[in-house]
């Protein structure tokens, strides 16, 4: 079994934006951006650039016929800077030329004069100066102020997690071409085709029906193309619209890293109170989110931090405050987990610190506080089919933690310069867009007269395998072979008003829509088949393995014959269906409601070996019991789990973003920014599917898989911390991630 795209990928046959066959007259764009982090544009002179070889035009804010505005949640972001500059990389203009190199060369001839202002880079400083994107957000449960007296232990601390560059293999880009009636057709590497369509319409000042957005697939998104693919699509469209010729705009790797936002770095304070047996009675946390220079998706991401700030534990008394802090770096954005991992790192840090003060294993605190059936989350939702304890216990049975610790202690007592460590990490992740209205999707299914089937949905394929899943869902629902089915590109003219493929909801939302559309077709096919057997009651007809059954008995009629008969009877072989997640709601004033369709649970144990002379380390194993619901595509689900874990380990360990004091990103290339490579993958990955977990709220009883496994990576930090403590028992862990080899070494030998 393999993902059906993989053969084409390996042969280089798959089309990404830059592979779309060349159209005569195509021009190339290059973005000219701010070299300063904060200030004002005093002068801009394009004349020399305009006279450079091959240059057709230079476009800036004054060339925009509609609104110079691309902000999604809050209208606070210009496509091209007006007079104000908010970060290094802030787009100011776009040079359009006959070749990429001509455009790039000409951009160096743009003359600009700036007035520099001091940048704010630290979210705590931004909060102090009241530079907030939105008013503070607060989630509360019980009465945290009155609970501290009942606690045997109260521990306070700080925990910081770094940002993360998406490093999708395909950089941001789009290809726009003018259409009749003054419209634009655009191929965009976006997770959010409708957002691109809406924003282009707004920038060009024309109705949405004149814009067609088409997405074949992305070379990775990871959230980085949920909001931040839009700017480049707008720029290419603006140029195509003005010049009446196709325009391609693709960021080179370094510009992509400089110009686009990343996972939000967070700095947080917490206070946790426990009884002497480790029961958590109260938890207070303040999260300083480094939002960057504009809102982007930061408010929604901040909310998810609060939704997940108790991870998978029941904490009866809580106050969590979130501050979205405006700073002078590129606007930060969605990244796998969407703020959840940042919230979970803080509670895990609090538990780790508390356990060490109390002289017990953090896993003991984790275990006794795990969510149980009917427990209430801080936002009012109660758990159901809660698998937190099941996953934890099953992992502990398969790989007894005590035994692992003993083996590690044995190893550590015999080795002075090499130390091992392990950490347990249970997770819980809520499935649904926390922005309730986004939980909708639709599907369009055609059956052609030869019995081949074509499905279009709102889902964007970005390597996560959603197309293979749509195919399987359609095949199962129509009772036909998968080879009959082709999944179309995602296109706003075929499927409208789409939500981004995000929040791990791609398969759930679009899969249900596919099921509904296929069932409409099944109903029609059943009626035609019933007529064939002179039967009035169409419910006596059923389908299985491409065959028509009558009263449960196979007939000689096949799927493709029935399709032909249906066509000859002039019955439609096309169906459209819309699906929206039932019964979810959330009140953003009281911050209470039922925002999630369900939760995904799991527990992992991560083991690491640390070379204490060099600070370098290797992850020996990750062992997981994960709640996949009832999987209907094991290979894809496993791939998502493995990929997510490695990406999560990268965030906690080797991936480190650094800015200088002027707000310049120093780690803007692969030579300075280290992502996990094949050698960084844990040597052993054992991922077990939790048994007997059917999910009524997922298609074919499955559960969403895209984001949750990322959060097992958090365990990497604590496994490493334990290995470091084995070398230097009195070491104070600072709970600042990532723990790069450099940081580990400096910490081990810091007097």
Using CB under 6 A as the criterion, which residues of the chain lie in contact with ligand HPA when the complex forms? 226, 297, 300, 304, 334, 338, 433-435, 438, 502-503
215 or 502: CB nearest ligand HPA = 502
415 or 489: CB nearest ligand MTE = 489
Residues 6+ apart with CB under 8 A from 482: 471, 472, 475
What are the strands, taking DSSP E only, across 650-748?
A: 684-689
From 707, 713, 726, 737, residue interacting with ligand MTE (rule: CB under 6 A) = 707
* Of 523, 707, 732, 742, catalytic: 707
SS3 at position 412: helix
What are the strands, taking DSSP E only, across 119-182?
A: 137-141, 153-161, 173-179
Is residue 165 a contact residue for ligand MTE (CB under 6 A)? no
Instruction: Output the six-digit token pair for 594.
Output: 């039922």
- Min dist. Cβ of residue 335 to ligand MOS (A): 5
- Residue 507's binding partner out of ligand MOS, ligand MTE, ligand HPA, none, with CB under 5 to 8 Å set by partner kind: ligand MTE
Is residue 334 a contact residue for ligand MOS (CB under 6 A)? yes
Per rule CB under 6 A, count of chain residues that contact ligand MTE: 21
User: Has 532 been annotated as catalytic?
Assistant: no
- Min dist. Cβ of residue 706 to ligand MOS (A): 7
Residues 6+ apart with CB under 8 A from 458: 193, 194, 441, 442, 443, 490, 495, 498, 499, 501, 509, 510, 513
Dist. CA 408–CA 416, nearest whole Å:
13
- Residue 278's binding partner out of ligand MTE, ligand MOS, ligand HPA, none, with CB under 5 to 8 Å set by partner kind: none
- Min dist. Cβ of residue 222 to ligand MOS (A): 6
Per rule CB under 6 A, count of chain residues that contact ligand MOS: 10
> What is the tally of helices (H) and strands (E) in the chain?
18, 29
Instruction: Work out whether the CA dihedral 651, 656, 662, 664 comes out positive or negative.
Output: negative
What are the strands, taking DSSP E only, across 412-468?
A: 418-431, 440-447, 453-457
640 or 740: CB nearest ligand MOS = 640
Dist. CA 27–CA 40, nearest whole Å:
30
3-state secondary structure 302-324: HHHHHHCCCCCECCCEEEEEEEE
Range 577-616, binding ligand MOS (CB under 6 A)? none
Stretch that binds ligand MTE, among 28-36, 67-75, 351-359, 699-707 (CB under 6 A): 699-707
Helix (H) or strand (E) segment spanning residue 746: helix 741-748
- Residue 300's binding partner out of ligand MTE, ligand MOS, ligand HPA, none, with CB under 5 to 8 Å set by partner kind: ligand HPA
248 or 262: CB nearest ligand MOS = 262
302 or 503: CB nearest ligand MOS = 503
- Measured CA to CA in angstroms, residue 139 lies from 429, 486, 681 at distances of 17, 45, 37
From 178, 223, 261, 299, residue interacting with ligand MOS (rule: CB under 6 A) = 223
SS3 at position 82: coil
- Min dist. Cβ of residue 682 to ligand MOS (A): 23
What x/- string results for residues 476 through 505 when contact with ligand MOS is judged by CB under 6 A?
A: --------------------------xx--
Dist. CA 115–CA 39, nearest whole Å:
5
Dist. CA 715–CA 723, nearest whole Å:
12
Q: Are 647 and 676 in contact (CB under 8 A)?
A: yes
What x/- string results for residues 475 through 504 when contact with ligand MTE is judged by CB under 6 A?
A: --------------------------xxxx
- Min dist. Cβ of residue 605 to ligand MTE (A): 23
Backbone angles phi, psi at 420, to 5 degrees: -110, 155
78 or 289: CB nearest ligand MTE = 289
Is residue 299 a contact residue for ligand MTE (CB under 6 A)? no
From 178, 322, 506, 709, residue interacting with ligand MTE (rule: CB under 6 A) = 506
From 221, 430, 650, 708, residue interacting with ligand MTE (rule: CB under 6 A) = 221
Is residue 335 a contact residue for ligand MOS (CB under 6 A)? yes
From 77, 105, 226, 375, residue interacting with ligand MOS (rule: CB under 6 A) = 226
Dist. CA 303–CA 295, nearest whole Å:
13
- Residue 462's binding partner out of ligand MTE, ligand MOS, ligand HPA, none, with CB under 5 to 8 Å set by partner kind: ligand MTE
Instruction: Output the six-digit token pair for 543.
Output: 């389908």
Residues 6+ apart with CB under 8 A from 410: none
From 123, 261, 322, 463, residue interacting with ligand MTE (rule: CB under 6 A) = 463
- Residue 607's binding partner out of ligand MOS, ligand HPA, ligand MTE, none, with CB under 5 to 8 Å set by partner kind: none
A 10 A CB-CB count for 125 gives 13
280 or 704: CB nearest ligand MTE = 704
Of 167, 198, 743, the closest CA to residue 499 belongs to 198
Is residue 222 a contact residue for ligand MTE (CB under 6 A)? yes
Is residue 219 a contact residue for ligand MTE (CB under 6 A)? no
Distance of CA 247 to the CA centre of its chain: 29
Dist. CA 294–CA 259, nearest whole Å:
13
- Min dist. Cβ of residue 74 to ligand HPA (A): 13
28 or 379: CB nearest ligand HPA = 379
310 or 328: CB nearest ligand HPA = 310
The one-character DSSP state at 63 is G
Instruction: Output the six-digit token pair for 549.
Output: 């059954």
Range 184-203, binding ligand MOS (CB under 6 A)? 191
- Residue 434's binding partner out of ligand HPA, ligand MTE, ligand MOS, none, with CB under 5 to 8 Å set by partner kind: ligand HPA
Stretch that binds ligand MOS, among 117-125, 332-340, 481-489, 536-544 (CB under 6 A): 332-340
Instruction: Measure the N-to-C terminal CA separation of the chain; round to a whole number of Å.
Output: 54
265 or 506: CB nearest ligand MTE = 506
Residues 6+ apart with CB under 8 A from 655: 162, 164, 165, 673, 674, 675, 676, 738
Is residue 223 a contact residue for ligand MTE (CB under 6 A)? yes
Select the residue whose beta carbon is closest to ligand MOS and give its number. 223
Q: Can you name the residues that pair with 601 across neighbouring β-strands?
A: 428
Instruction: Output the six-digit token pair for 591.
Output: 């911050």
Omega cis (within 30) before 253? no
Is residue 340 a contact residue for ligand MOS (CB under 6 A)? no
Burial of 244 per CB tally in 10 Å (0-12, 13-18, 19+): exposed
- Min dist. Cβ of residue 429 to ligand HPA (A): 10
Is residue 336 a contact residue for ligand MOS (CB under 6 A)? yes
Of 192, 199, 197, the closest CA to residue 209 belongs to 197
Select the residue whose beta carbon is closest to ligand HPA and give its number. 503
Give catalytic residues, as residue numbers. 707
Binding residues for ligand MOS, rule: CB under 6 A, are: 191, 221, 223, 226, 334-336, 338, 502-503
Binding residues for ligand MTE, rule: CB under 6 A, are: 220-223, 336, 462-464, 466, 501-507, 640, 643, 704, 706-707
């Amino acid at each position: 079994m393999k993902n059906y795209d993989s053969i084409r990928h390996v042969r280089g046959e798959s089309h990404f934006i830059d592979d779309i066959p060349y159209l005569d007259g195509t021009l190339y764009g290059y973005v000219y951006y701010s070299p300063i982090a904060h200030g004002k544009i005093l002068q801009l002179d394009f004349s020399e650039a305009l006279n450079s070889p091959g240059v057709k035009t230079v476009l800036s804010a004054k060339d925009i016929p509609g609104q110079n505005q691309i902000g999604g949640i809050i209208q606070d972001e210009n496509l091209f800077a007006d007079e104000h500059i908010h970060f290094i990389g802030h787009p100011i203009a776009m040079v359009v030329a006959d070749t990429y190199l001509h455009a790039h060369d000409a951009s160096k001839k743009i003359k600009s004069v700036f007035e520099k202002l001091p940048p704010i880079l630290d979210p705590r400083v931004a909060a102090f100066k009241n530079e907030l994107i939105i008013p503070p957000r607060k989630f509360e449960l019980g009465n945290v102020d009155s609970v501290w007296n009942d606690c045997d232990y109260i521990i306070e601390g700080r925990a910081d997690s770094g940002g993360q560059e998406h490093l999708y293999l395909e950089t941001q880009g789009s290809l726009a071409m003018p259409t009749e009636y003054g419209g634009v057709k655009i191929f965009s590497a976006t997770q959010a085709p409708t957002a691109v369509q809406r924003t282009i319409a707004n920038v060009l000042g024309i109705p949405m029906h004149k814009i067609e957005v088409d997405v074949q697939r992305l070379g990775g998104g990871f959230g980085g193309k949920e909001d931040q693919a839009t700017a480049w699509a707008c720029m290419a469209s603006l140029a195509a619209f003005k010049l009446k010729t196709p325009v391609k705009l693709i960021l080179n790797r370094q510009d992509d890293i400089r110009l686009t936002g990343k996972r939000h770095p967070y700095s947080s304070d917490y206070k946790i109170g426990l009884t002497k047996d480790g029961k958590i009675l109260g938890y207070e946390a303040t999260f300083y989110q480094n939002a960057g220079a504009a809102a982007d998706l930061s408010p929604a991401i901040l909310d998810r931090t609060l939704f997940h700030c108790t991870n998978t534990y029941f904490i009866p008394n809580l106050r969590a405050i979130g501050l979205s802090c405006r700073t002078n770096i590129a606007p930060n954005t969605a990244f796998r987990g969407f703020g959840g991992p940042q919230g979970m790192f803080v509670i895990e840090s609090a538990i780790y610190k508390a356990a060490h003060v109390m002289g017990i294993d953090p896993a003991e605190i984790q275990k006794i506080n795990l969510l149980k059936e009917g427990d209430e989350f801080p936002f009012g939702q109660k758990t159901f089919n809660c698998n937190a304890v099941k996953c934890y216990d099953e992992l502990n049975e398969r790989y007894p933690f005590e035994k692992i610790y003993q083996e590690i202690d044995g190893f550590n007592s015999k080795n002075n310069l090499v130390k091992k460590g392990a950490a347990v990490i249970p997770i819980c992740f809520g499935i649904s867009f926390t922005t309730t209205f986004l939980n909708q999707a639709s599907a369009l299914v055609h059956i052609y007269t030869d019995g081949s089937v074509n499905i279009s949905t709102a889902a964007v394929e970005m390597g996560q395998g959603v197309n293979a899943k749509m195919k399987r869902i359609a095949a199962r629902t129509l009772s036909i072979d998968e080879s009959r089915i082709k999944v179309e590109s995602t296109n706003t003219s075929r499927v409208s008003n789409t939500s981004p493929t995000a929040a791990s909801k791609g398969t759930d939302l679009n899969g249900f829509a596919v099921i509904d559309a296929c069932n409409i077709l099944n109903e029609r096919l059943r009626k035609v088949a019933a007529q064939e057997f002179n039967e009035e009651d169409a419910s006596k007809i059923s389908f299985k393995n491409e065959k028509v059954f009558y009263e449960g008995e196979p007939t000689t009629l096949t799927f493709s014959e029935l399709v032909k008969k249906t066509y000859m009877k002039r019955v439609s072989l096309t169906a459209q269906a819309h699906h929206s997640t039932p019964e979810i709601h959330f009140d953003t004033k009281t911050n209470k409601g039922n925002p999630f369709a369900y939760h995904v649970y799991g527990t992992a144990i991560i083991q690491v070996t640390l070379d204490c002379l060099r600070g370098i380390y290797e992850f020996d194993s990750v062992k997981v019991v994960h709640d996949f619901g009832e999987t209907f595509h094991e290979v894809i689900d496993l791939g998502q789990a493995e990929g997510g874990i490695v990406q999560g380990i990268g965030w906690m360990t080797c991936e480190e973003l650094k800015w200088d004091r002027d707000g310049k990103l120093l780690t803007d290339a692969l030579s300075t920014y280290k992502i996990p490579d094949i050698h960084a993958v844990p040597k052993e990955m054992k991922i077990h599917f939790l048994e007997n977990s059917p999910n009524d709220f997922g298609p074919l009883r499955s559960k969403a898989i895209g984001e949750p496994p990322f959060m097992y990576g958090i365990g990497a930090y604590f496994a490493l911390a334990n290995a470091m403590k084995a070398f230097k028992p009195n070491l104070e862990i600072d709970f600042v991630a990532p723990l790069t080899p450099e940081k580990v070494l400096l910490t081990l030998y810091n007097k």
